[in-house]
Amino acid sequence: MAGILDGKAFSKKILENIKEKCEKEGLKPGLAVILVGDDPASSVYVRMKEKRCKELGFVSKGYKLPADTKEEELASLIEKLNNDDEIDGILLQLPLPSHLNSKKMLELISPEKDVDGFHPVNAGKLFTGQDAFIPCTPRGIIELLKEYKIEMEGKNAVVIGRSNIVGKPMAILLLNENATVTICHSRTKDLKEVASQADILIASIGRPYFVSGDFVKEGAVVVDVGVNRVDSIEQGEKLFGKGSEKLKKIKEKGYVLVGDVNYEEAFPKASFITPVPGGVGPLTIAMLMKNTLESHLRRKNR
């Protein structure tokens, strides 16, 4: 039976430490968040980020641009924020509307203010072992594993997913901790067999309950990055079974949020596991705040 890796409690502790440091030292880090269009999920994320900034006493500048914003308009806002001394971090909420080139827009953000760690300069620095902004989700996972004193050195770590935001940086960070790392993706052969060799299994796929119990080695540490909305009763019945609590939730609320890991099957086999919600999710925002504070300290030479 697994111990719970409680990302919610740990992120609360991180945020309290940040607040205390800012109050004690009179620091006022600044974060600008740009949202283009009105994607409902993105709007929720942006509101949560702005709320955290306010709670910590950060300067928070929010920019809500219409969905038909032209590339030049977005570029000139980013340029303005690059030169705004009050701002230490610039976050461009993804996904952007399809007429905007995300890669090109992200590259306009000054690497010194790229608190998401998505700029190629920061990705390259991470890859070559230099000081860099580390993408928030994988950074949060490493800090969570350290908080629970999970040994990484010499362990077999399997990362399912190779996105630039989670999978690839996650693999590099685990490698930096001297784990032996395997990265899996949609073309991996015998995925179950590879995953079941893992002492540390990270799932960042975006498919509800994809990782069943037989992916999990007895005693493995399981980290579930996925956040999937299941809103069909038919799919709910298939995934969770008739009479399950989750199916009840779909019927009551219209949907349920679940991870990539079949929690009920993985829980009895794992030594530690992250729940969804309350595992990796809250840490991502906590790390964004931490990256913004670190940027502020660096920019003020403190």
- Where does this chain touch ligand NAP (CB under 6 A) — which range of 117-125, 179-187, 215-223, 291-299? 179-187
What is the rounded distance in angstroms from the CA atom of residue 136 to the CA atom of residue 139? 5
Look up residue 24 and give its amino acid.
K
Size of the site for ligand NAP (CB under 6 A): 25
Name the minimum Å distance from CB 70 to ligand NAP. 26
H helix runs in the chain, sequence order: 7-25, 40-56, 71-82, 102-108, 120-127, 136-147, 167-176, 191-195, 233-240, 245-253, 263-266, 280-299
Name the minimum Å distance from CB 206 to ligand NAP. 3
Question: 29, 117, 169, 281: which one contacts ligand NAP (CB under 6 A)?
Answer: 281
- Where does this chain touch ligand NAP (CB under 6 A) — which range of 16-24, 226-234, 245-253, 287-295? 226-234
Question: 89, 117, 138, 167: which one contacts ligand NAP (CB under 6 A)?
Answer: 167
Question: 28, 103, 146, 185: which one contacts ligand NAP (CB under 6 A)?
Answer: 185
Catalytic residue check, 300: no
Residues 255/248, Cβ–Cβ less than 8 Å? no
> Is the Cα dihedral 173, 175, 177, 181 positive or negative?
positive
What is the rounded distance in angstroms from the CA atom of residue 46 to the CA atom of residue 38? 11
Residues 55/11, Cβ–Cβ less than 8 Å? no
Catalytic residue check, 93: yes
Name the minimum Å distance from CB 238 to ligand NAP. 16
Say whether residue 226 binds ligand NAP (CB under 6 A).
Answer: yes
Structure token digits, residue 79: 């340029």
How many Cβ atoms are within 10 Å of 37's Cβ, its own excluded? 18
Catalytic residue among 6, 88, 114, 116: 116
Site for ligand NAP in 135-164 (CB under 6 A): 137, 160-163
Catalytic residue check, 85: no
Say whether residue 229 binds ligand NAP (CB under 6 A).
Answer: no
What is the rounded distance in angstroms from the CA atom of residue 71 to the CA atom of residue 88? 23
Catalytic residue among 88, 93, 260, 290: 93
Query: Regarding beta strands 30-36 and 3-4, do their DSSP bridges make them parallel or antiparallel, or are they unpaired?
Result: unpaired
Contact footprint for ligand NAP (CB under 6 A): 137, 160-163, 165-167, 184-188, 191, 204-207, 225-228, 280-281, 284
Report, as residue numbers or ranges, the catalytic residues: 49, 93, 116
